Structure 1
Amino acid sequence: MRTLGTIGTLEEQARERREKLDKQHGVASNLKKVARGLWWTGFIGAITIIPAAIWYTGKADKWLVMAENESIRLSAELGMTVKNIEVSGREKTEPDALLAAIGKKTGTPIITFDVDAARERIEELSWVRTATVERQLPDTLIVSVIERKPLALWQTEDRGHVLIDGDGEQLQNYELGDYLDLPVLVGDDAPQHAAEMLATIQTIPHLYDMVTGAQRIGHRRWNIQLSNGMFVRLPEKDMDKAWQRLEILDRDHDLLNRDVLIVDLRLPDRTFVRLTPGAAELRRNPPKKEGAV
């Protein structure tokens, strides 16, 4: 008859054997994973490094061509072909134009894909400011784009209104009606200098909300048009200080609600105003009081 101590010893021995087998199984599983990883790494190295090594040794002959062709064939057989194209950041860029710029169709070998050339083609699209293209082996292309942000409408003599961004780039493929709330710019060099000016006037939101357009004067400075018909002449330098002065004048003297046509802020120490024609006429010829001779 076995005692409790003997049974406990047998159970401990069985548990030790199970733990030993589990450890051996885990080691074997890990070794298989490592082996697969090493094989995959070795294969990729073989199909990419060996042809390159042959090239750099100066033996760029039929052996190099054969090695490259064989590498491409083997990679395709093992599933290293373009099956997925993942795109992020696209809103305005037309999908068909983007796919054409990427330049690869599904099923083609992924190792032959030139990511730099694809990036350059994508960045030539009107709405794309920058792009990145990456291969994610074995079968996916990762494309990320940062699109341009519409800033204003540029009024031209021959093309009407053209949508531009902060870099002065002219955008294409858009509905003009979607952007009629943007300021209208006039001047042949207006697109190249608009970003600085608009950044300045946006610092005072309630004044910016009144801006309907801006005219570039003499390639040096801006005249700003407001929705009440008033024109604000800004200086060549220190636009921000002049714009802040306009806010102070409006706050202290209710300037924007007066019959003023032009507010000239070009001089830092004084402000000139020109009344509207009607207000100027009334000032020159004030109405006579009743009963006056």
Structure 2
Amino acid sequence: MRTLEEQARERREKLSKKHGVGSNVKKIARVMWWTGFFGAITIIPAALWYTGKADKWLALAEKESIYLSARLGMTVNNIEVSGREKTDTNALLAAIGQKPGTPIITFDVDAARERIEELSWVRNATVERQLPDTLIVSIVERKPLAIWQTTDRNHVLIDGDGEQLQNYELGDYLDLPVLVGADAPKSAAEMLGILQTIPDLYAQVTGAQRIGQRRWNIQLANGMFVRLPEQDMDKAWQRLAMLNREHDILERDVLIVDLRLPDRTFVRLTPGAAELRRNPPKKEGAV
């Protein structure tokens, strides 16, 4: 008969064997699981990429993410626009190109901005997504500067960059000066900026003609023409202001004021005034 000590030792040995096998099975199972996991995230994508199927997997993932974002409410429900005054609303919405209810994460803000800036009245634009459901569009419109008379005698509204504007009523801008000359639009901003520095004189300006792609002749409301030099237009314009202050030259029968030379001014009278100067009326009683 075995002693109690021998029986206890035998039970301990059996228990030790039993737990040892179970522990090894669990360890093997854990190793197999982690091996499978890392295989899924490394070997499988690598295999898909090698076989050319990774693009399909990525496309499917992208499609699913877009679908889920829409289910979560990330769709275009609001379009907020600031800065619009002259730009046609329908043309602007068409340029934005995103219909309400479509997923907002697919919206290409750069492409939309480029389309918006192609509209004639838009100088520049910014487009942003405001999640979850709003597009923010901010535009800076062009400012009309003058009316350009083209070579075929049509009249076109232009801005300071010489860009031709569209979709307007010409009658709304008849107070702007009329420019003549093939290269007048691209050179007008500098010239008109100088003329505007003396508001009283600029208020009399009705038009300007570009001469030889070098200089300008300015037409005033009283029919007078002012010939400006190619260089130092600002000094010549200030000289005209001085002549008007000291001699009221704008009130006289003068057809042309020539300011092209910096040290002298030439004046041509109107035909009527010139005739009177050549043939002054005889005094009564004179023989």
Q: Distance in 1 between matches of 2:54 and 2:261?
A: 71
Instruction: Give the direction of change, closer, same or farther, for the CA distance of 1:256–1:167 in structure 2 (3 Å limit).
Output: same
Matched, 1:131 2:129: no
Match of 1:287 in 2: 281
- Asked if the contact 2:151/2:182 (under 8 Å) is kept, the reply is no
Q: CA RMSD in A?
A: 1.4
Partner secondary structure for residue 292 of structure 1: coil
2:105 to 86, 107, 111: 111
Partner secondary structure for residue 61 of structure 1: helix
How many residue pairs end up in the alignment? 238
Match of 1:198 in 2: 192
Matched, 1:227 2:221: yes
Instruction: Give the direction of change, closer, same or farther, for the CA distance of 1:268–1:87 in structure 2 (3 Å limit).
Output: same
Please give the TM-score of this superposition, normalised by the length of structure 1.
0.79
Question: What's the offset of the Cα at 1:157?
Answer: 3.1
Matched, 1:167 2:161: yes
Instruction: Give the direction of change, closer, same or farther, for the CA distance of 1:248–1:64 in structure 2 (3 Å limit).
Output: same
Unaligned runs of 5+ in 2: 1-47
Instruction: Give the direction of change, closer, same or farther, for the CA distance of 1:64–1:270 in structure 2 (3 Å limit).
Output: same
Partner secondary structure for residue 66 of structure 2: helix
Please give the TM-score of this superposition, normalised by the length of structure 2.
0.81
Structure with max Cα Rg: 2
Q: Distance in 2 between matches of 1:82 and 1:191?
A: 41
Q: Distance in 1 between matches of 2:117 and 2:153?
A: 24
Q: Distance in 1 between matches of 2:224 and 2:254?
A: 7
Moved over 6 A (4+): none
Instruction: Give the direction of change, closer, same or farther, for the CA distance of 1:59–1:116 in structure 2 (3 Å limit).
Output: farther
| Aligned residue identity for 2:150 | T
2:149 to 142, 155, 162: 155
Give CA-to-partner distance per residue, 1:150-171, whole Å, 9 cap, x none: 0000011336110000000000
Question: What's the offset of the Cα at 1:174?
Answer: 0.3
Question: What's the offset of the Cα at 1:135?
Answer: 0.3
Match of 1:67 in 2: 61
Aligned residue runs from structure 1 range 1-293, under 5 A: 60-158=54-152, 160-293=154-287
Q: Distance in 2 between matches of 1:219 and 1:84?
A: 50
Quote the sequence identity (%): 85
- Asked if the contact 2:74/2:132 (under 8 Å) is kept, the reply is yes
